[in-house]
């Protein structure tokens, strides 16, 4: 089974849609200055109304660990995603101080970078084209990865099926690919989930 993460939730309407569609994870951008950034109160509202089987992930970018601790201690998030240039020591400290699992995102342009990312202390590694760019990258580089990973960057309902067949990722992460004019689109979200399910069935020989 391929895990699905819908990222960039911002509104109660977004929460209602994911509760109906049931991805495995949702992401809330808690780094300042991004288009999809939300504050603690909004994040708390989303988390409080989220289906308890869906894991809320806080997305952070090169922020003081105290900021991550603030969200973690409030119970708003159940996992941390790091999307900047954080060091491995930072990853280990976040895990130690919050007790939460860490997803670390990597933007890669070479096989050597993929191999290095494979050695991360993060619980899950993610390969992305860049934070929220909506672009894909050279997926052939990922043949050098020594562990299973989440795939992000430019995924859509149209290309995620083939991405799963080609790469067999642990999970897929999508934000702009399930939006219309900057807002989450339930039809695109449903089509994305359907495509993942179809790919998983094909992989299982069903």
Which residues form the catalytic set?
7, 128
Which residue's entry shows tokens 């998030």?
77
Q: Which of 86, 127, 88 is nearest to 110 (CA)?
A: 127
Q: List the helix and strand counts (H, then E) for the chain.
A: 7, 10
Rounded to whole angstroms, the Cα distance separating 178 from 187 reads 8
Q: How far, CA to CA in Å, does 161 sit from each of 36, 185, 195?
A: 26, 19, 5
Rounded to whole angstroms, the Cα distance separating 70 from 114 reads 32
Rounded to whole angstroms, the Cα distance separating 203 from 156 reads 19
């Amino acid at each position: 089974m391929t895990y699905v993460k819908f990222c960039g939730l911002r509104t109660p309407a977004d929460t209602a849609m994911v509760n109906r569609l049931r991805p495995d994870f949702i992401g809330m951008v808690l780094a300042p200055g991004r288009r999809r950034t939300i504050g603690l109160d909004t994040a708390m509202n989303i988390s409080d109304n989220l289906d308890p089987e869906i894991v809320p992930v806080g997305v952070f970018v090169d922020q003081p660990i105290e900021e991550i601790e603030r969200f973690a201690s409030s119970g708003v998030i159940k996992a941390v995603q790091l999307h900047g240039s954080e060091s491995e020591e930072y990853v280990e400290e976040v895990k130690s101080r919050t007790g939460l699992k860490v997803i670390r995102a990597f933007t890669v342009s070479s096989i050597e970078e993929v191999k290095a990312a494979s050695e991360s202390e993060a619980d899950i590694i993610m390969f992305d084209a860049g934070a929220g760019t909506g672009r894909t990258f050279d997926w052939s580089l990922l043949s050098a990865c020594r562990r299973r990973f989440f795939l992000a960057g430019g995924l859509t309902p149209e290309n995620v099926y083939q991405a799963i067949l080609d790469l067999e990722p642990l999970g897929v992460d999508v934000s702009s690919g399930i939006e219309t004019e900057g807002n989450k689109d339930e039809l695109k979200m449903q089509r994305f989930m359907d495509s993942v399910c179809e790919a998983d069935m094909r992989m299982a020989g069903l």
